Structure 1
């Protein structure tokens, strides 16, 4: 028997969310209905697609093989709908964007707000998490990363470079003394990432500078930035974040300047989805302009 498309959609949602309840919320149906659709699909295919456990639903080998085909079919369907709706229409529907919290807090709010302003029928969701997103499980429609992934069926394009510097609040420096040389850092309280929670080697800023001890640490760059702003110590700060903190100034600019890049990462199956491609272009252009504008304010 040929599978029902609604059953395949339920399968795809469970594969992405790894639970019936989460898949039900995504599909706007109750978990029991999702479960029945998955069971019917397994019966029609005479295959076990998931391993059930208290931790959730995990794909079996048969499920993994089916997933790539169903995800590709969904992408083709979205591409077809985009073609029918026409390229001249405004963007609509929901797009979920994953991003590290530095970009999510200091760049994406204004960039995405401007895109939605020009496209009133569009809904943008920003998922700010300090980790790498799994686009294969459709955790997001696209993601911004700080290094290009080397594996997976992904479309990767560089958005822009950005700069970072050591920084501290003027109040902290007044209380603890000026920093005129790299050696002076040994006498100051340092702020940075929790060492074993650095999810990308590009974020090991203090390690690159030879700093051994971090007194105040967080896996969130926004928490680190607020510690710096509130006089907690010295940390590495994105230049594009500095305009919102006039009481923070860069240190040792002539000796230490870090450069990193943002990359836009998409699933290869979405290449022909016009709506996502148009949003990706607008997003990349907006982030590029915003980084340049904010960094110019700190020069």
Structure 2
């Protein structure tokens, strides 16, 4: 006669609790039901598994032999369930993320690499463009933005705050002298965005500081940082990017400290898409942790 896992599960509960009532509590079954199931199992196996005593239900010699096999089956069952749960929790298929190049260059590589390590069947595409993505046209499955959209059928989720400060290379300071105040910036080269290519007002840092003349400009955050690294001038830099440029240091941190927000944007039609929702959760958690880690290094 073959026994099933449910038979063994009840047998193990009685063997471990030495009582029908204890096993019933463990299994959330009525003790009488547990007793009937044990009697049925003994009848099917044509043997006695327990002997009743004042101390409760004690295993017979045959019961002791079955206990060893049942525990082996339990271990195998738990291992199988763990594998199935792990496989069912893994993500697969292609997911495309649109992102401004600051996040794309200094945050997404390490975060997405970690997600891919956990989900080897996944294909992640990072589209780094300094502009707003059109999710309605399916340019991407989701996008990171620096301001929350107010129109369109979109799911908007705040990811995290992040900090920016003025920064300059040590070579530039050596060649051009210390910058001790915001007023001093007027006599120094400034690196920043191309004014008519700023795609979001949240990125107009220099206007907020009161700087309008930008001798070295780019629509790319990574290009701006490289200009600063090469001694081109002083500019606003993401704190999370500074670890990639050890020759660059923050300045005037008490006078100029900016805070911005990253948002994750998805199309409303994807609200019920469990796959994208799970990926979005992993992405947001990873980005929060990575921003916190990198900012702590500054």
**What TM-score do you get using the length of structure 2 for normalisation?**
0.71
Structure 1 counterpart of 2:18? none
Structure 1 counterpart of 2:127? 127
Q: Deviations over 1:187-236 (max 9, x none)?
A: 10000000000000000000100101000001111100110111111000
SS at match of 1:228: helix
Cα distance in 2 for residues equivalent to 1:89 and 1:284: 17
**Is 1:291 aligned with 2:291?**
yes
Change (3 A) 1:86 1:135: farther
Structure 2 counterpart of 1:233? 233
Q: Where does 1:27-66 land on structure 2 (aligned, <5 Å)?
A: none
Q: Using the TM superposition, give the Cα deviation of residue 89 of structure 1 relative to its aligned residue in structure 2, in angstroms.
A: 3.5
Cα distance in 2 for residues equivalent to 1:109 and 1:183: 37
**Is 1:157 aligned with 2:157?**
yes
Cα distance in 2 for residues equivalent to 1:131 and 1:197: 9
Q: Using the TM superposition, give the Cα deviation of residue 87 of structure 1 relative to its aligned residue in structure 2, in angstroms.
A: 8.6
Asked if the contact 1:92/1:122 (under 8 Å) is kept, the reply is yes
SS at match of 1:88: helix
SS at match of 1:136: coil
Q: Deviations over 1:116-172 (max 9, x none)?
A: 000000000000000000000000000000000010000001000000000000001
Q: Using the TM superposition, give the Cα deviation of residue 258 of structure 1 relative to its aligned residue in structure 2, in angstroms.
A: 0.3
Cα distance in 1 for residues equivalent to 2:160 and 2:204: 19
**Is 1:95 aligned with 2:95?**
yes
Q: Deviations over 1:237-278 (max 9, x none)?
A: 000000111111001011110000000000000001111000
Runs of 4+ residues over 4 Å off in structure 1: none
**Is 1:174 aligned with 2:174?**
yes
Q: Using the TM superposition, give the Cα deviation of residue 182 of structure 1 relative to its aligned residue in structure 2, in angstroms.
A: 0.7
Q: Give the unaligned 5+ runs of structure 2.
A: 1-84
**What TM-score do you get using the length of structure 1 for normalisation?**
0.70
SS at match of 1:265: strand
Cα distance in 2 for residues equivalent to 1:150 and 1:225: 31
Structure 2 counterpart of 1:215? 215
Q: Give the unaligned 5+ runs of structure 1.
A: 1-84
Which protein shows a greater Rg?
Answer: 2
Cα distance in 2 for residues equivalent to 1:86 and 1:124: 20
Cα distance in 2 for residues equivalent to 1:215 and 1:183: 17
SS at match of 2:285: helix
Q: Using the TM superposition, give the Cα deviation of residue 88 of structure 1 relative to its aligned residue in structure 2, in angstroms.
A: 2.7
Cα distance in 1 for residues equivalent to 2:281 and 2:236: 30
Q: Deviations over 1:58-116 (max 9, x none)?
A: xxxxxxxxxxxxxxxxxxxxxxxxxxx99934100000000000000000000000000
Asked if the contact 1:87/1:274 (under 8 Å) is kept, the reply is no
Cα distance in 2 for residues equivalent to 1:168 and 1:91: 42
